[in-house]
């Protein structure tokens, strides 16, 4: 699989082996310092993208995005059955019964 010209921040984080939060902080730093520090990033509409070539410059050569990062939304839904599209209601359509907590003195 070829690496796209623009990576998501999560994909760039995986390539650089850093966490998602650290990657977003580094992109914020890049924008705040006009490119003096952080991870190179461009805003495209309402999203942030990391240019592959800039990451390759930092890495000193071609990069590969780990396949576990580049998954289809379907694979994510199968892995997370309680996704945001799931309902917390039971199969009858009624709200789950509340359980009373028992306290002892």
From first to last of its 105 residues, the chain has per-residue pLDDT tens of 688 999 999 999 999 999 999 999 999 999 999 999 999 999 999 999 999 999 999 999 999 888 765 554 444 444 444 444 444 444 555 555 555 555 555
Using a cut of 0.75, tell me whether the model's pTM lies above it.
Answer: no
| Cβ within 8 Å of residue 96, ≥6 positions away | 88, 89, 90
42 has which bridge partners? 49
Residue 16 CB coordination number (10 Å): 17
Residue 86 inside a domain? The answer is no
In a domain, 28, yes or no: yes
Residue 87, in any domain of the structure:
no
Query: CA 62, CA 55: separation in Å to the nearest integer?
Result: 9
Which domain does 36 fall in, by range?
6-65
Residue 61: inside a domain: yes
Residue 12 in any domain: the answer is yes
What is the number of domains present in the chain?
1
Left if phi > 0, otherwise alpha if psi is -120 to 50, otherwise beta: which for 45?
Answer: left
């Amino acid at each position: 699989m070829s690496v796209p010209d623009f990576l998501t921040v999560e994909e760039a984080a995986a390539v650089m082996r850093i966490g998602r939060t650290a990657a977003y902080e580094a992109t914020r730093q890049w924008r705040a310092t006009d490119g003096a520090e952080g991870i190179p990033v461009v805003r495209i509409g309402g999203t942030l993208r990391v240019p592959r070539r800039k990451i390759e410059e930092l890495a000193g050569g071609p990069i590969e995005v780990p396949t576990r990062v580049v998954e289809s939304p379907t694979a994510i839904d199968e892995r997370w059955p309680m996704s945001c599209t799931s309902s917390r209601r039971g199969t009858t359509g009624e709200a789950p019964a509340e359980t009373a907590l028992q306290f002892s003195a």
